[in-house]
Structure 1
């Protein structure tokens, strides 16, 4: 498909000027996303079920261990130096979503190495491949991680595979975290905790409130999504919010397979419906292909998405500078001291700057380390996942890469009732292929006025 210069938006739907000096996430961190396209998986570990990724501290700056002790507390016995946890990762290591598996695993490997360098726990990682969302593979792989690798902690990804393994998580008391594809079917499940806002659903009202305020003439909305994530957002949340915000309606609600590259039929139907705005719950490279082909077909209305990856930006080319998105978003330029340790360590270990998904899976390993510290402080068994979860429920607040400032890390908080998390969210435009925050949004409860989501 030929590359064409993106068409300018009509004057009544043009983007407003952007004040990039606005305060960002918690503590005023600027929310500029510098998503890195990471070319190769490093630090050991393969893609077969249960392949082991050794804790490699050879590329960890000795100063990182001391810095982490200053942030989280001393190492040694109190820091879990005598504790070993067998941990699994259920990721998209092959297939269309292999980019996600690569960066997620890199984040966890770096965390394990840095914690070990800080004289903390030994977090032994075993990587399982769900082949970019294949549910039967996810089930068999998880069983192998449990029976062969004896995992006690699990970092999972994607919506459908994670929902499918919920019974296995509960039966085996696997303390589990999903920082990738959070979905309603995972909410409130025993031992499963979401470390990102629910994909699509949580930012949806804020995204639409921003469109309604910025483009007040817009009445007709087109929606594009998949059956993998953001289903409730596409079917229920967005139509209801849009009607309440604008009095308008959804004129097209299209679905496509994950990994699609040809959107010609969907583009044709959307063009025929003549919407004033488009909301897409698509993810990965799919968004890049969709945006590129919509603009090549001279569909000029605003396009709002739910995520950004630099890989999708490369697919779309210059057309991505007409794309906006709304989500909880990681800022690698955040000056908070823990984030600096993460960014510097990632560059040294992998030769690349980190990005959103890698940050989430890095954080999760530190959440586990903090829980181990709490259980040990109470005289408990730090390898008992029930004790670890009880420690989380007793104090659901954790230090974070998100927010904070140059003097202190940010903070996130889990909801013990439904196992979701509260994080900063925003609306971003893409400028020169990179995200720039243009508005703050917050989560609103079901049935609440969606206009309240726009801060």
Structure 2
């Protein structure tokens, strides 16, 4: 009898536990967590983790256990696509924060689209990311057709350059940005002496020799900090002090470290605001430092904002679903049609293809290895 009574009490406890058990829902991050671009990819993941930490109690109130799963895309399109397929196969993952690289976002979002896994990018700028019209792809940053002209205008009107040498890293991001800069410079009457693609990472001597011959007033490089930093170091060592301008791929504290004593007269447009340009970011920056023992950078803040858009979208969809875990399609719709407030970078709403209706570009200057804000440029996409 005792044995039976014990068994019944155990069964009752198990039944009670299962009745109160929470449903697990997850979001994923997809960014480079290893390799040369891991500094920025880790910022995105950590920013998203802070947002998850904040939203956990709100999800718990309606019976949902919120978790974050981080995937490493290694800044590689094939790896990112393979990881996207893994994300799609985990039915508890309802949305993704990512990616860092446009060249990774394009195939990854296509791999996620049949499963209606929404993506909100804190970084992708290539026009093609949203021009494909995928229902699951959104971004909270400006596009290359805004970033390119902003960089070109700065070169022509602030730096007063008459002759510019353009380089790109042969990726969707770098080529797209360089193309937009070239178009805008030519429209401004500036001579573009080259738009050259290179995958070189360590020895830029042959390119620098060509730049020396052309004697440009400025060099534009559409690429990422780990490559461009080495180029700048070697350019300065060769005695060329022309300003070097780039896009948001240069937005890393590692750029100045890599460039070393050459970290002067560098300018870059960035879609992720420097922390000091975001009035609401002080508490975030303190929390980031305490949690990860690392200083928050722009992409950390935008990873946080992209995650808040994702999490609020899931929460809105859950509430509309009777406080039950929503479907991926419900989340996809809630994100695209939502109005998200209280973000570090301002309010977010998306147009019909997933572009942010109102964004800001920031022009940063690196001088003596120190970063400072040069100017801001408000932008709106062509369609609202």
TM-score over 0.5 for the pair: yes
Q: Which residue of structure 2 aligns with residue 358 of structure 1? A: 300
Distance 2:65 2:279 in 1: 25
**1:154 to partner: Cα distance:** 1.6
**1:346 to partner: Cα distance:** 0.9
1:115-154 correspondence runs (5 A): 115-117=55-57, 122-133=65-76, 135-148=77-90, 150-154=92-96
Q: Which residue of structure 1 aligns with residue 375 of structure 2? A: 439
Larger relative contact order, structure 1 or 2 (CA cutoff 8 Å, min sep 6): 1
CA offsets 1:410-434 (integer angstroms, 9 cap, x no match):
3233223343453221222123423
Q: Indicate if the aligned counterparts of 1:169 and 1:190 stay in contact, CA closer than 8 A.
A: no
Distance 2:96 2:290 in 1: 26
- Summarize the Cα distance change of 1:422–1:264 in structure 2 as closer, same or farther, 3 Å threshold: farther
Q: Which residue of structure 2 aligns with residue 346 of structure 1? A: 288
SS, match of residue 400 in structure 1: coil
Structure 1: tracts of 5 or more residues without a match: 1-80, 403-409, 447-455
Distance 2:91 2:106 in 1: 21
CA offsets 1:296-333 (integer angstroms, 9 cap, x no match):
11222222111321111111123222111112232323
Work out whether 1:174 is the aligned partner of 2:117: yes
Runs of 4 or more, structure 1, over 6 Å off, are none
Q: Indicate if the aligned counterparts of 2:305 and 2:344 stay in contact, CA closer than 8 A.
A: yes
Q: Which residue of structure 2 aligns with residue 32 of structure 1? A: none
The TM-score, its normalising length taken from structure 2, stands at 0.82
**1:205 to partner: Cα distance:** 0.9
CA offsets 1:168-206 (integer angstroms, 9 cap, x no match):
2210100112223332222132211112223x4422212
Distance 1:100 1:204 in 2: 21
Structure number with larger C-alpha Rg: 2
- Matching residue within 359, 367, 371 for 2:309: 367
Q: Which residue of structure 1 aligns with residue 335 of structure 2? A: 392
1:52-451 correspondence runs (5 A): 84-117=24-57, 122-133=65-76, 135-148=77-90, 150-157=92-99, 158-187=101-130, 188-198=133-143, 200-216=144-160, 218-228=161-171, 229-235=173-179, 237-245=180-188, 247-257=189-199, 260-307=201-248, 308-333=251-276, 336-337=279-280, 339-379=281-321, 382-402=325-345, 410-420=346-356, 422-443=358-379
Distance 2:381 2:241 in 1: 32
Structure 2: tracts of 5 or more residues without a match: 1-20
The TM-score, its normalising length taken from structure 1, stands at 0.70
Q: Indicate if the aligned counterparts of 2:28 and 2:95 stay in contact, CA closer than 8 A.
A: yes
Q: Indicate if the aligned counterparts of 1:204 and 1:233 stay in contact, CA closer than 8 A.
A: yes
- Summarize the Cα distance change of 1:190–1:379 in structure 2 as closer, same or farther, 3 Å threshold: closer
**1:222 to partner: Cα distance:** 0.8
Distance 1:84 1:365 in 2: 17
Distance 1:328 1:367 in 2: 17
Q: Indicate if the aligned counterparts of 1:176 and 1:193 stay in contact, CA closer than 8 A.
A: yes
